[in-house]
Amino acid sequence: MTLCTALDICYCVNPDYRDAITANVARVRKLIADNRAQGKAIGYLSVPLSPAGGGAYLVNSDMAKATAEHVGKRFGARTVYLLNPGEEGSAAMQGASGADYMYMWTQILEGERGLGEDFDFFYFSGPTDFARYFELTGTADLERLEAWFDDKIATNPKYKDAIANGSLTKAGFRNYYGLRASVAFSYGSHDEWNIARLINDRRRGAADFGIANQLAVLFDGQPVSPGGYETPTASGDVGRCIK
């Protein structure tokens, strides 16, 4: 069924997950409020989690956790809370689609006023974040990734079926993490970029926010340029159900 958020962002959602989505939106909003009450700046981590393109979910999930920890160290764990969707997706969402998850995260990100008022910044992960996770040095990085695959993927029984059916290969793994690992190749992250842009567009036009109070946006650890705040990207999971 097609469900739309307060900002009229629509997704084709499996109704079986509707209650789980509603419950998790409330839970995560409370989690954010608890951290806000401690005086922390609140951020959202946008990171590729699905294995689409040649990656592996468990690797992406672990990398997301490592990136959240890195951002915490960079800004100070006492002063920042970075919401990691890989850890706060709810066990009740097992088997849900990207659109199901994005319907949930969109509601959390836009806030009750549609101004992203629960957040202070977005952190979009990029090649540098993945390179840090894999300990790449800038020399023979693709070879290092092949060795990483042989050492930690090929010998791991959790990946046995994926390797056997060809959905996970050494070449695909190497090329994805060496050449494409970034939000630029993620369906959900494309939507999250557009959500950030839409929220900031609304903030620029709101008397109690304005340009000076836009949500900060970082990509690959660096602030985006002024034009980046206003530039949309292709949609990912956004879209109504097709009958």
Does a structural domain hold residue 135?
A: yes
Domain count across the chain? 1
Instruction: Please give the chain's pLDDT, 243 residues, in tens.
Output: 999 999 999 999 999 999 999 999 999 999 999 999 999 999 999 999 999 999 999 999 999 999 999 999 999 999 999 999 999 988 899 899 999 999 999 999 999 999 999 999 999 999 999 999 999 999 999 999 999 999 999 999 999 888 999 999 999 999 999 999 999 999 999 999 999 999 999 999 999 999 999 999 999 999 999 999 999 999 999 999 987
Does a structural domain hold residue 5?
A: no
Does a structural domain hold residue 42?
A: yes
Does a structural domain hold residue 169?
A: yes
Does a structural domain hold residue 241?
A: no
Question: How far, rounded to the nearest angstrom, does the alpha carbon of residue 101 sit from its chain's CA centroid?
Answer: 11
Range of the structural domain that residue 224 is part of: 38-96+110-230
Token pair recorded at residue 199: 């929220």
Q: 3-state DSSP: the chain helix, strand, coil percent, rounded to 5?
A: 50, 10, 35
Does a structural domain hold residue 80?
A: yes
Does a structural domain hold residue 186?
A: yes
- Look at residue 242 in the predicted model and tell me its pLDDT: 86
Beta strand spans in the chain (E): 2-4, 10-12, 41-46, 80-83, 121-124, 216-219, 222-223
Token pair recorded at residue 214: 């836009």
State the CB neighbour count (10 A cutoff) for residue 175.
16
What does the CA dihedral 191, 96, 67, 172 come to, rounded to 10 degrees?
-90
Does a structural domain hold residue 47?
A: yes
